[in-house]
Structure 1
């Protein structure tokens, strides 16, 4: 039996680098020693509220210091964590609380209204953290006050390496969200490999923490990775390009993790900024970064962008562009240390049939990062895990140098007049138009061709017409690929993890 707890990530950092600044949250600068002491105090408070080893604690906290305190506090008491998206409605939140069997919801005071409404529906107990606004009827117990009334835990409760540490709820692009079970081993290994093998990070790195900590990318690569290294995490609760640039300059940030919409936001803000941060490492994930955006960002900020790939079910990182192998724009690089990523025949469901180099198929993943299955969903687990491989649902290729390229989601493929059209290829072409800020391509029903290509575009203000963009794209794309329909919008619908919600676009424009 191997014992391992994700809580060790913070506990060991506090032991090795007690005086180093772990977290910058506005004016607050918290050392590793203090952050671990505060987390152990929260752990004792949780125990006082009836939470023990193997129980489930949901965490509804924005990017403030209370997130790591509550997160590592729950881990220290031996509980498993359900991070809750801040953008969910009370009904959606109640579904997550019920489905996960949450014993206690820890909610930041800024989220209390939704938390209490969700808890009433789900029949779940609530504790609050953060400054309590006055006049809340039936205010729940404050975790800080409960923690202050008892002695902190001396150390964390040990767990088995294969015990579940975190349950991530997938976005639910198909049906209801499912709880992906991530073990202590999954998450310790992913944080470790991200910082020590994938990138050339340094102990004095200052990392921008603007990705939501409730999301797997911000949590594992951002927070846990930084703490594993002993670096400093600078928190930003609400991302805008301007706020991020100001904060990065002020705190001398050297590492930026973001999703494509954040890179686009930083580029827009850079045009108006007096000074830009000196970034050594930039990591992009969560969705495909258009090559045009990557090139513009590298030129403006003078920094290499390492694009990676992963899913909630893979802890999340599966592949990334890495200095050891060189970078190649438009690819997701190579598998991380200890993980295998191959291309399998997409149309064969019941077994994994690996394809030769260069052929298009489904990306499949095997290694220490692959989850322990979906909570209470054996059929969904059996569909996703075949012959020891996790089926990603993404289509891609692997070239002779081992670089992997994502072509598209299996379910986003558009079949126009019998021809397969991959929206990502069309999006990459349109993203190069100087007046296109952001674009998403979908298939819409067509009585003759079955599906037609529709580009939903956020344009620069300045009078781009639909016909101009159609004519421009016609020169860049094959006859069966260029969009015949353009729809201009002010913003694309985003999910909690900043992915474009194509199902919403299909609902709006596919009628």
Structure 2
């Protein structure tokens, strides 16, 4: 029996770097010693509220210092965590609370209205953290008050390495959200490998924490990775390009983690900024970063962008461009240490048949990062993990040098007149047009060709017409690939993990 707790990430940080600033949250600068003591205090408060080892604690907290306090507090008391997306409706939140059999929801006071409604629907107890606004009827117990009456836990409760630490709810691109079970071993290893093997970061680095901490990328690569390393995490509760640049300059941020929409936002803000941060390392994930955006960002910020790839089910990081192997724009690099990533025949469901270099197939993953299954969904777990490999649902290739390239999601493939068209390839080309800020390509029903190519575009205010963009794309793309339809929108619909919700676009423009 191997004992391991994800709480050790902060506990060891406090032992090694007690007086170092772990978190910057507005004017607050909290050292490792203080943050771990506050987390153990919250753990004692949770115990007073009836939470014990093996119980489930959901947390609904923005990117504030209370997130790591409650997160490591719940881990320290031996509970498993369910991070809840801040933008869910009360009904959606209640589904997550019921499905995960949550025992207690810890909600920041700014989120109490939705939290209380969701908890009532799900029959779950609530506790609050953060300053309580006056005049709230039936205010729930405050975790700070529960913690104030008892001494902090002396240390964290031991767990087995294969016990579940965090349940991440997938964004439900194929129906109801599913709870992906991540173990202490999964998450400790992923945080460790990200900082000690994948990137050349060190304990003097200051990391931008603008990715939502409730999401796997912000939580593992951002928060847990930074604390595993002994770095400083600078929190930003609400991302805008302007706010991020200002904060990064002020706090001398050296490492930026973001999704493509954030890189686009930073580029737009950079044009108006007096000063830009001196970033050493930038990591992109969550969705494909158009090569045109990557090139513009590297040129503007004088920083290398390391694009990576992962899923909630893989803790999340599976591959990334790494200094050890060199970077290649448009690829997701190489597998991280201790993880295998291969290409398998996509049309075979019941077994894994690996393909040679250069052939197109489904990206499959095995290693210490692969989850323990979907909560209470054995059939879906069996479909996702075959012969020990996790089937990603993404199509890609692996070249002779080991660089992996994502071609597209299996389900996003468009078949036009019998020809396979991969939306990502079309998106990469359209993203190079100077008037295109963001683009998503979908297939829409067509009587003649079965499916037709439709580009949904967020355009520069200077503007471009549908006909102009179609004519331009004809020169850049094969005859079966260029979009015959262009639809302009103010913003693309985003899921919890900042991926474009193509099912919403198909629903809107596909009829």
Scaled to the shorter chain, the TM-score interval is: over 0.9
Cα shift at 1:229: 0.2
Work out the CA distance in 1 between the residues paired with 2:98 and 2:203.
41
Matched residue, 1:129: 129
Matched residue, 1:447: 447
Q: How many residues of Structure 1 are paired with residues of Structure 2 in the alignment?
A: 511
Whether 1:230 aligns to 2:227 is: no
* Deviation string, structure 1 residues 162-199 (Cα, Å, up to 9, x no partner): 00000000000011000000000000000000000000
Work out the CA distance in 2 between the residues paired with 1:415 and 1:148.
62
Instruction: Please list, as runs of the form range in 1=range in 2, the aligned pairs for 1:464-503 lying within 5 A after superposition.
Output: 464-503=464-503
Question: Cα RMSD (Å) of the superposition?
Answer: 0.3
| SS in structure 2 at match of 1:332 | coil
Cα shift at 1:202: 1.2
Matched residue, 2:374: 374
* Deviation string, structure 1 residues 246-273 (Cα, Å, up to 9, x no partner): 0000000000000000000000000000
Cα shift at 1:338: 0.1
| SS in structure 1 at match of 2:87 | coil
Matched residue, 2:272: 272
Work out the CA distance in 2 between the residues paired with 1:429 and 1:510.
22
Cα shift at 1:496: 1.8
Work out the CA distance in 1 between the residues paired with 2:135 and 2:506.
43
Work out the CA distance in 1 between the residues paired with 2:213 and 2:126.
20
Work out the CA distance in 2 between the residues paired with 1:69 and 1:463.
46
Matched residue, 1:97: 97
Matched residue, 1:6: 6
| SS in structure 2 at match of 1:58 | strand
Whether 1:386 aligns to 2:386 is: yes
Work out the CA distance in 2 between the residues paired with 1:479 and 1:175.
34
Matched residue, 1:457: 457
Matched residue, 2:413: 413
Cα shift at 1:79: 0.1
Matched residue, 1:349: 349
Cα shift at 1:463: 2.8
| SS in structure 2 at match of 1:165 | strand
Instruction: Please list, as runs of the form range in 1=range in 2, the aligned pairs for 1:68-467 lying within 5 A after superposition.
Output: 68-467=68-467
TM-score of the superposed pair, with normalisation by structure 1: 1.00
| SS in structure 2 at match of 1:330 | coil
Work out the CA distance in 1 between the residues paired with 2:284 and 2:318.
13
Matched residue, 2:55: 55
Work out the CA distance in 2 between the residues paired with 1:462 and 1:241.
20
Work out the CA distance in 1 between the residues paired with 2:385 and 2:495.
25
Runs of 4+ in 1 over 6 A off after TM superposition: none
Work out the CA distance in 2 between the residues paired with 1:467 and 1:274.
37
Cα shift at 1:13: 0.3
Give unpaired runs (5+ residues) of structure 2.
Answer: none
Work out the CA distance in 2 between the residues paired with 1:121 and 1:18.
42
| SS in structure 1 at match of 2:58 | strand
Cα shift at 1:2: 0.2
Work out the CA distance in 1 between the residues paired with 2:464 and 2:173.
32
Work out the CA distance in 1 between the residues paired with 2:269 and 2:427.
22
* Deviation string, structure 1 residues 79-128 (Cα, Å, up to 9, x no partner): 00000000100000000000000000000000000000000000000000
Work out the CA distance in 2 between the residues paired with 1:390 and 1:274.
46
| SS in structure 2 at match of 1:59 | strand
* Deviation string, structure 1 residues 282-341 (Cα, Å, up to 9, x no partner): 000000000000000000000000000000000000000000000000000000000000
Work out the CA distance in 2 between the residues paired with 1:382 and 1:159.
26
TM-score of the superposed pair, with normalisation by structure 2: 1.00
Cα shift at 1:135: 1.0
